[in-house]
């Protein structure tokens, strides 16, 4: 079996992982787009309380890959771990649908929500590190295509992330709190598609550079692994309910993530089989993981404070409709190009995509003439839609950035320098939005273009950091620690996302939210945040300082990488 395609030079397995991850990210980002709005608008929680729940959820989402990576390396392999993770996440999204269907019974709704979040958290732990690791396993360590492969893979992530806020936001973020359930249901369907596509095609397409099978089970100890999974589910459910159960403000999740982030390097580095070169390379991974905490804690405000900011402080009023025939043409084009891809991928009879395209077009025309498809009119843009700006820019600019790195060849910046550039850009994004809100009365809503501009700058920064970081971990990791180190990399994201929720809680309340009551302004390091400008300055200082320090350290880190860029 040939492991590469004549068109792209990449293994077909890359496109299976692309497709699988695209739908999983559709599920995750679709739910995330409306989650904090669901907490605030449907369950009636305050901004700061909702932000803390959001941070705990997203923090644990990136903590559990440490367990999933370990069990994959030692027992179940990548394939089985991905399947288990996908099933758990589909169950989790369905429970979110049930929770949103029972909002009149708030206690029951909250309990079911905790169950849904638990399943999503544990499922992601098995899914996320293993599918990323399999991308690297498709290539040799020295293959120059690896950076390009991870960039293509990253496009799949963001293609799913682009459509999901539009679909889930349109269905769930309607202004009617009873509609949130439809957004969660759409996210559930996306996860089901991801699991089915992976299971049907993994045997045919997931092979290494020499045609060998990758990601198979390593040891037969299912009872032990299942026991650990059940224990993990119980622990996560307990952690998510800890504050309510014990009526305490102690943030046990934050400290658990901090201890895990500190303890993981110590555990890995204590292995006596690690050589000096391997040790140096692993040290680079850990140092850069520390710096990406500052990037993601600022960047991930997208699902927290920036969504609340879009809901409460951005003028989203519009008056436009989408003609039904425009919808027909767009869907027909989507069907045509998707069927063309499937024809190539499944090796169907040549030209069958044209037949599928014509049948799809006829069906859509009939649906429109019979009134099934109707014109869609918007009076205001849903706040959740702004989360589609980031993936849209990535889909457009990822090939351009990848081409730039390829064109520069040996002259391109080192991985640490590229990541310092990413931190600088996230800093500049907050400079832009700070200018937009400076001196503006809090009751006046600013133009949406300020927020769109921030997302654009942040996205270019993400392209300088995230796919480069994934590729770097893949290239620097010893094979026997590959999934575990990928899990450790996501551990930095866990701490960053937890901090993102904590920082999001600093956002000053709106006037309407505190009408008739004393405003409870939050503080950080003794600095009280009384307006949006001061809130955004926190991220300017944090990301800017981290960028400067990483620029200074870049040459030293490059030497520690021992020839791998």
Write out the DSSP string of 87-155: HHHHHHHHHHHHHHHTTTSHHHHHHHHHHHHHHHHHHHHHHHHHHHHHHHHTS-TT-TTHHHHHHHHHH
pLDDT at residue 346 above 50?
A: yes
Q: Could you write out the DSSP letters of every residue in 481-501?
A: GHHHHHHHHHHHHHHHHHHHH
94: Cβ contacts below 8 Å, ≥ 6 apart? 116, 185, 188
* Residues 6 or more apart in contact with residue 503 via CB below 8 angstroms: 297, 298, 301, 305, 524, 538, 539
Which residues, at least 6 apart from 136, have a Cβ–Cβ distance to it below 8 Å? 146, 150, 471, 474, 475, 482
**Torsion sign, CA atoms 404, 405, 408, 409:** negative
Does residue 6 lie in a domain region?
no
Question: Using 50, 70 and 90 to split pLDDT, how confident is the model at 431?
Answer: very high
pLDDT exceeding 70 applies to what percent of the chain? Answer: 94
Verify that 302 and 450 share a domain, yes or no.
yes
pLDDT at position 375 is 65
List all residues 6 or more positions away from 43 whose beta carbon is below 8 Å from its beta carbon: 103, 106, 109, 110
Q: Is residue 346 part of a domain?
A: yes
End-to-end distance of the chain based on CA atoms, in angstroms? 31
Residue 7 lies in a domain: no
pTM of the model: 0.83
Closest CA relative to residue 397, chosen from 448, 330, 467: 467
Q: With cut-offs at 50, 70 and 90, classify the pLDDT of residue 321.
A: low
Top-confidence residue, 481 or 519: 481
Cα gap 387→385, rounded to integer Å = 5
Predicted confidence (pLDDT) at residue 285 exceeds the cutoff of 80: yes
Structure-block tokens of residue 101: 């269907």
Mean of pLDDT values over 115-132: 91
Q: Are residues 409 and 526 in the same domain?
A: yes
**% of the chain at pLDDT higher than 90:** 43
What tens digit of pLDDT does each residue of 69-78 get? 778 888 888 8
**Domain annotation covers residue 4:** no
Cross-strand pairs, 446: 314
Last-in-domain residue among 333, 358, 380: 380
pLDDT digits (tens, 9 = 90+) for 546-565: 999 999 999 999 999 988 87
Nearest one of 382, 379, 389, 387 to 172, comparing CA atoms? 382
Q: Report the distance separating Cα 371 and Cα 195, nearest Å.
A: 33
174 lies in the same domain as 184: yes
Task: Note whether residue 565 is domain-resident.
Answer: no
Let me know: does 37 contact 182? Beta carbons within 8 Å.
no
Q: Which of 499, 11, 485, 24 is nearest to 282 (CA)?
A: 485
Count the domains in the chain. 2
* Same domain, residue pair 280 and 399: yes
Closest of 464, 485, 487, 465 to residue 475, by C-alpha: 485
Supply 156's token pair: 């799949």
The answer to whether position 471 is within a domain reads: yes
173-182, 223-232, 463-472: which has the highest mean pLDDT?
173-182
How would DSSP label each residue in 23-43? HHHHHHHHHHHHHHHIIIIIS
pLDDT at 236 (0 to 100): 92
**373 and 483: one domain?**
no
DSSP, res 207: B
pLDDT of residue 538: 95
Quick one: pLDDT band at residue 3, thresholds 50, 70, 90? Answer: very low
Quick check: is 326 in a domain? yes
Q: How buried is residue 347: exposed, middle or buried, by Cβ count under 10 Å (0-12/13-18/19+)?
A: exposed
Q: What is the DSSP pairing of strand 314-315 with strand 446-447?
A: parallel
Q: Do residues 66 and 262 lie in contact, with contact meaning Cβ atoms separated by under 8 Å? A: no
Torsion angle in degrees (nearest 10) through CA of 422, 426, 427, 429: 140
172 burial level (CB within 10 Å; 0-12, 13-18, 19+): buried
Half-sphere exposure of 421 (CA within 13 A, CB side): 18
Q: Put residue 117 in one of left, alpha, beta given phi > 0 → left and psi -120 to 50 → alpha.
A: alpha
Residue that terminates a domain, selected from 335, 362, 380: 380
Average pLDDT, the chain: 86
End residue of a domain, out of 380, 401, 424: 380
- Provide mean pLDDT across the span 221-236: 86
The residue among 205 and 117 whose pLDDT is bigger is 117
What is the predicted pLDDT for the residue at 322?
66
pLDDT at 320: 66
For the ranges 65-79, 162-176, 235-249, 447-461, the one whose mean pLDDT is highest: 447-461
Residues 251-284 as b or e (16 or more Cβ within 10 Å = b) = bebbebbeebbeebbeebeeeeebeeebebbbbb
- pLDDT tens, 138-148? 887 777 777 77
Among 287, 304, 379, 294, which Cα is nearest to 36's? 304
Helix (H, G, I), strand (E, B) or coil at 346: helix
For 417, the enclosing helix (H) or strand (E) is helix 415-437
Three-state SS at 199: helix
Query: Residue 341 contacts by C-beta under 8 Å, 6 or more apart in sequence?
Result: none
Residue 367 belongs to domain spanning: 317-380
Cα dihedral angle (53, 57, 58, 60), rounded to 10 degrees? 130
Q: Is 351 left (phi over 0), alpha (psi -120 to 50) or beta?
A: left
Place of tokens 């293959």: 143
- Shared domain check, 187 and 77: yes
| 76 and 98 both lie in a single domain | yes
516 and 554 in a common domain: yes
Same-domain status, 297 and 367: no
What is the rounded distance in angstroms from the CA atom of residue 518 to the CA atom of residue 540?
Answer: 28
Mean pLDDT is lowest, of 38-52, 289-303, 337-351, for 337-351
Q: Which residue has the tokens 């993530």?
A: 257
Q: Which CATH number belongs to the domain containing residue 88 in this structure?
A: 1.20.1250.20
Residue 396 in any domain: the answer is yes
d(CA 311, CA 20): 32
Average pLDDT over every residue of 146-156: 76
Domain co-membership, 397 together with 479? yes
Please say whether the beta carbons of 342 and 353 come within 8 A: yes
CA dist., res. 29 & res. 166, Å (int):
10
Percent of the chain that is helix, strand, coil (3-state, to 5): 75, 5, 20
User: What is the reported pLDDT for 64?
Assistant: 86
Are 65 and 115 within one domain? yes
With cut-offs at 50, 70 and 90, classify the pLDDT of residue 273: confident
Statement: residue 1 has pLDDT above 60: no
Verify that 235 and 181 share a domain, yes or no.
yes
In terms of average pLDDT, the best of 77-81, 179-183, 219-223, 392-396 is 179-183
**How does residue 417 score in pLDDT terms, banded at 50, 70 and 90?**
very high
């Amino acid at each position: 079996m040939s492991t590469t395609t004549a068109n792209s030079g990449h293994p077909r397995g890359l496109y299976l992982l692309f497709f699988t991850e695209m739908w999983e990210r559709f599920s995750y980002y679709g739910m995330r787009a409306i989650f904090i709005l669901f907490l605030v608008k449907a369950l009636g929680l305050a901004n700061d309380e909702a932000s803390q729940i959001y941070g705990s959820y997203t923090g644990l989402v990136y903590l559990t890959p440490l367990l999933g990576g370990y069990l994959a390396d030692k027992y179940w392999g990548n394939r089985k771990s991905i399947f288990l993770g996908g099933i758990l996440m589909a169950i989790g999204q369905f429970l979110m649908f049930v929770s949103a269907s029972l909002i009149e019974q708030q206690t029951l709704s909250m309990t079911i929500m905790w169950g849904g979040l638990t399943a999503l958290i544990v499922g992601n732990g098995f899914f996320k590190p293993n599918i990323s690791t399999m991308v690297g396993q498709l290539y040799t360590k020295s293959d120059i295509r690896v950076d390009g492969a991870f960039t293509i893979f990253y496009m799949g992530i963001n293609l799913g992330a682009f459509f999901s806020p539009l679909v889930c936001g349109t269905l769930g973020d309607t202004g009617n709190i009873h509609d949130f359930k439809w957004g969660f249901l759409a996210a559930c369907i996306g996860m089901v598609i991801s699991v089915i596509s992976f299971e049907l095609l993994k045997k045919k397409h997931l092979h290494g550079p020499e045609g060998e099978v990758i990601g198979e089970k390593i040891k037969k100890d299912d009872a032990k692994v299942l026991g650990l999974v059940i224990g993990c589910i119980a622990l996560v459910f307990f952690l998510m309910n800890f504050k309510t159960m014990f009526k305490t403000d102690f943030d046990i999740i934050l400290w658990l993530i901090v201890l895990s982030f500190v303890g993981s390097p110590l555990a890995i580095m204590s292995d006596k089989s690690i050589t000096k070169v391997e040790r140096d390379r692993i040290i680079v991974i850990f140092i850069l993981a520390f710096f990406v905490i500052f990037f993601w804690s600022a960047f991930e405000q997208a699902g927290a404070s920036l969504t609340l900011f879009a809901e409460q402080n951005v003028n989203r009023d519009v008056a436009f409709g989408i003609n039904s025939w425009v919808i027909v043409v767009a869907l027909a084009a989507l069907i045509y190009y998707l069927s063309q891809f499937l024809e190539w991928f499944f090796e169907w009879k040549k030209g069958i995509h044209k037949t599928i395209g014509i049948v799809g077009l006829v069906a859509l025309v009939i649906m429109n003439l019979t009134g099934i498809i109707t014109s869609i009119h918007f009076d205001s843009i849903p706040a959740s839609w702004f989360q589609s700006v980031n993936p849209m820019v990535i889909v457009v600019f990822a090939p351009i950035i990848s081409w730039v790195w390829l064109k520069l060849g040996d002259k391109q910046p080192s991985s640490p320098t590229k990541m310092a550039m990413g931190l600088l850009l996230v800093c500049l994004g907050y400079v832009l939005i700070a200018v937009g809100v400076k001196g503006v009365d809090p009751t006046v809503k600013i133009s949406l273009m300020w927020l769109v501009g921030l997302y654009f700058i942040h996205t270019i920064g993400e392209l300088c950091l995230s796919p480069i970081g994934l590729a770097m971990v893949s290239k620097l990791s010893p094979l026997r620690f590959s999934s575990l180190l990928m899990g450790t990399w996501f551990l930095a994201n866990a701490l960053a996302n937890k901090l993102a929720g904590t920082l999001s809680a600093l956002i000053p309340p709106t006037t309407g939210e505190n009408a008739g009551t004393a405003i409870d302004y939050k503080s950080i390091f003794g600095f009280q945040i009384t307006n949006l400008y001061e809130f955004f300055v926190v991220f300017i200082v944090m990301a800017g300082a981290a960028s400067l320090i990483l620029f200074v350290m870049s040459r030293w880190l490059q030497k520690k990488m021992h020839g791998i860029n």
